[in-house]
Each structure stands twice: as structure tokens, then as C-alpha cells.
């Protein structure tokens, strides 16, 4: 496919190659069109133009879907290399001072993506007015290629060796409960006292056991629990805790207003669950376009002050 980037009209041919790669990665013409901000007929015309240019059929289309032809499979890897090489060349030529332009697709956890990460996102958009961002809320690791995603923000350990995980910080976690649960026995000070209370579980990070450590001495314990309710939603956990259904452990920032207003109390304040690492993740094989590098720099600079944990009581 080297001939596709030589001679007159090479920029247009690169657009055709990029469209072909997007179609394969997205799995359909309509999905590729959505990622490119184009119409499905436009994407179809680009594919047909590329097939005419190379003189072979690249994708076989039928009522049952689409699949790469033998020629298409042979050309796909080379096409990806060409696009990556062009992006690297373009980035170098434009220089570090060039403002990024285009669309950034980011997958973020539901709770954090609605609250904690929006301020850094606003800074990014204000700093780079030529950028648009698709802010996609999902608690699972995306398929970067198929979903056309540039990066994801993940809370918790990242064990996928096919991605690059840049640590942004740590999210402190605390133990909280509604005052109604504590009226008879007062505020528990030790994990042993917590075992007598009803519990709620955030099943993403704990289900029937929670590890706690003492802030001052470093002493650690493991507390077995039998949750009355388990959920994968941080906001549902918070609401259930305020209703007095049980005590729970979660990110300190989500309880800030409730602790201040007295709707919740911090329990065993000298004890905390291990902080959760916070990562920005992107595919290891993908070159970093300038729009992504600028986003990474912004998140690193702006996010850390927002990781809130209430001061431990005496």
C-alpha cells in the first residue's frame, strides 16, 4: 500500500486508509461513521474509493454483516502502520507549541466521571479550544480499538499488560455510617466494634471481607462481613448508607458533603482501608497524539488536589 501515500492526492488517500482502518476496528460502517463524525454513505464511498485505488476488494459486505477479504487482511496491518507513522510525522512537524485540534474519546468510571474528573476536563477544554471530548461513563475497561477510545481512567489496579497505565494518584477510603445506626452504642473506634453493625458492600472492591490499617501504628486487620446489600454503584452505596441500611467503606470524597451536614459519621476514624490507585490507561501499541499528551498533562496537573479524604478524628 506504499503507493497510496505517494504522488498527488496523498492527503486524500490517507483519509481513505484511515477510514478503512476505522471500519475494521469499529466493526461496521455506521460505527466508523459515528467515530469519524461523518455519515454512513460518506464512509461507504471512501471505502469504495480506496478499493478502486488499490484494485482489490478489501471488505466483503452482506446482509449478515461484513468481514475482511484475504486482500483486506493482508492490507489492514500495513494500513495501521501507515496511519501511525503519519500521525507521528505530523506531530513532529507541527511542533510542541501547536494547539491540538479534533476529538478525544475518554472512558471514565460513572461516579468519578460525573463529579471528580469534570473540573480537570473543563480546564482541558478551556486550555485547548479546538478540542472536543466524548466523555463516556463506563466502569469496565474498554476495547480501545473496537470502541475507538483514546484513553480510559481507571480506579483500582490495572493488570492488562497490553496497555500503558500512568498513575495519577491514590484515592483514600474511609468507613462511614448513618447516625441512626449509632444511637445506642456510640461511634465505633475499633474494627472489632464494626463487626457488630450491618454492612453494605461495594462489590467492585470488596464483598465479604475488608482490610483495615491503623493510621498511627500501621497495625492491620481483616474484618469478615455479611453485607445486607451489595452494589457496584458508588452513589447507590452512599444513598443506602444515608438511609441507615448499613455501614460501608468507599472513597472519602463522595461523603464530603454528608459528613459536613451530619447525615453520615466517620467510623473508627483512625482506621482506613487501603487507598485505591488511580490510573490513566491507553493502548501500549498506539502512538500518543498531541490531543492525548495534552490531556495526560492536564489530568496530572489538575486532578491531585481533588482526591479528598476527611481528616482523621482524634
Report pLDDT for 102. Answer: 86
Q: Cα separation of 295 and 276, whole Å?
A: 22
Q: Which domain holds residue 296?
A: 102-170+277-303
Looking at the structure, do residues 144 and 9 belong to the same domain, yes or no? no
Looking at the structure, do residues 144 and 192 belong to the same domain, yes or no? no
Average pLDDT value for residue range 86-108: 74
pLDDT tens-place string over residues 83-92: 777 766 666 5
Examine residue 9 and state whether it is found in any structural domain, yes or no. Answer: yes
Looking at the structure, do residues 155 and 295 belong to the same domain, yes or no? yes
Asked if 276 and 155 touch (Cβ cutoff 8 Å), the reply is yes
CATH number where 200 lies: 3.40.190.290
Looking at the structure, do residues 18 and 86 belong to the same domain, yes or no? yes
Domain count, the chain: 3
Q: How far is CA 64 from the centre of its chain?
A: 32
- Which residues, in sequence order, are CB contacts of 126 under 8 Å at separation 6+? none
Q: Cα separation of 121 and 206, whole Å?
A: 29
pLDDT classification of 8: cutoffs 50, 70, 90: very low
Average pLDDT value for residue range 229-246: 95
Report pLDDT for 285. Answer: 62
Looking at the structure, do residues 240 and 263 belong to the same domain, yes or no? yes
Report pLDDT for 196. Answer: 86
Looking at the structure, do residues 64 and 181 belong to the same domain, yes or no? no
pLDDT classification of 255: cutoffs 50, 70, 90: very high
Examine residue 249 and state whether it is found in any structural domain, yes or no. Answer: yes
Q: Examine the pLDDT at 286 and tell me if it is beyond 60.
A: no
pLDDT tens-place string over residues 156-203: 999 888 888 999 989 999 999 999 888 665 788 889 889 889 999 999
Alpha helices in 165-230 (DSSP H): 191-194
Q: Cα separation of 158 and 281, whole Å?
A: 8
Nearest to 274 by CA among 146, 174, 181, 153: 174
Looking at the structure, do residues 132 and 281 belong to the same domain, yes or no? yes
Between the alpha carbon of residue 24 and those of residues 40, 56, 146, 147, 160, the distances in Å are: 14, 16, 8, 11, 23
Q: Examine the pLDDT at 96 and tell me if it is beyond 60.
A: no
Q: Helices 10-26 and 29-36, interaxial angle, to 10°? A: 120
Report pLDDT for 91. Answer: 61
Looking at the structure, do residues 166 and 283 belong to the same domain, yes or no? yes
CA 42, 47, 49, 53: dihedral to nearest 10 degrees? 160
Q: Cα separation of 253 and 278, whole Å?
A: 14
Query: Count of CB atoms within 10 A of residue 205's CB?
Result: 18
Average pLDDT value for residue range 125-150: 90
What is the pLDDT of the chain when averaged over all its residues? 85
Last residue of a domain, one of 76, 94, 112: 94
Report pLDDT for 9. Answer: 47
Amino acid at each position: 500500500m506504499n503507493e497510496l501515500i505517494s504522488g498527488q492526492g496523498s492527503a486524500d488517500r490517507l483519509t481513505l486508509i484511515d477510514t478503512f482502518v476505522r471500519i475494521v476496528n469499529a466493526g461496521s460502517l455506521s460505527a466508523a461513521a459515528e467515530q469519524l463524525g461523518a455519515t454512513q454513505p460518506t464512509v461507504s464511498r471512501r471505502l469504495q474509493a480506496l478499493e478502486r485505488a488499490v484494485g482489490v476488494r478489501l471488505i466483503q459486505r452482506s446482509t449478515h454483516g461484513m468481514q475482511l477479504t484475504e486482500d483486506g487482511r493482508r492490507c489492514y496491518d500495513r494500513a495501521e502502520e501507515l496511519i501511525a507513522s503519519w500521525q507521528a510525522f505530523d506531530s513532529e512537524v507541527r511542533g510542541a507549541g501547536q494547539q491540538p485540534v479534533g476529538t478525544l474519546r475518554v472512558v471514565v468510571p460513572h461516579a468519578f466521571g460525573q463529579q471528580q474528573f469534570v473540573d480537570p476536563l473543563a480546564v482541558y477544554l478551556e486550555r485547548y479550544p479546538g478540542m472536543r471530548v466524548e466523555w463516556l461513563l463506563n466502569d469496565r475497561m474498554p476495547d480501545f480499538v473496537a470502541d475507538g477510545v483514546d484513553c480510559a481512567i481507571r480506579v483500582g489496579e490495572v493488570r492488562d499488560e497490553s496497555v500503558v497505565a500512568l498513575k495519577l494518584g491514590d484515592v483514600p477510603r474511609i468507613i462511614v455510617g448513618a447516625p441512626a445506626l449509632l444511637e445506642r452504642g456510640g461511634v465505633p473506634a475499633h474494627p472489632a466494634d464494626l463487626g457488630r453493625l450491618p454492612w453494605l458492600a461495594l462489590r467492585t472492591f470488596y464483598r465479604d471481607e475488608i482490610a483495615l490499617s491503623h493510621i498511627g501504628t500501621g497495625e492491620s486487620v481483616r474484618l469478615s462481613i455479611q453485607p445486607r446489600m451489595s452494589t457496584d454503584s458508588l452513589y447507590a452505596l452512599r444513598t443506602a448508607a444515608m438511609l441507615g441500611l448499613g455501614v460501608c467503606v468507599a472513597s472519602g470524597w463522595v461523603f464530603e458533603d454528608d459528613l459536613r451536614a451530619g447525615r453520615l459519621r466517620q467510623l473508627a476514624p483512625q482506621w482506613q482501608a487501603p487507598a485505591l490507585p488511580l490510573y490513566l490507561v491507553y493502548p501500549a501499541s498506539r502512538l500518543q497524539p498531541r490531543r492525548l499528551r495534552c490531556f495526560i498533562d492536564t489530568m496530572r496537573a489538575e486532578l491531585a488536589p481533588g482526591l479528598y479524604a476527611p481528616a482523621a478524628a482524634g
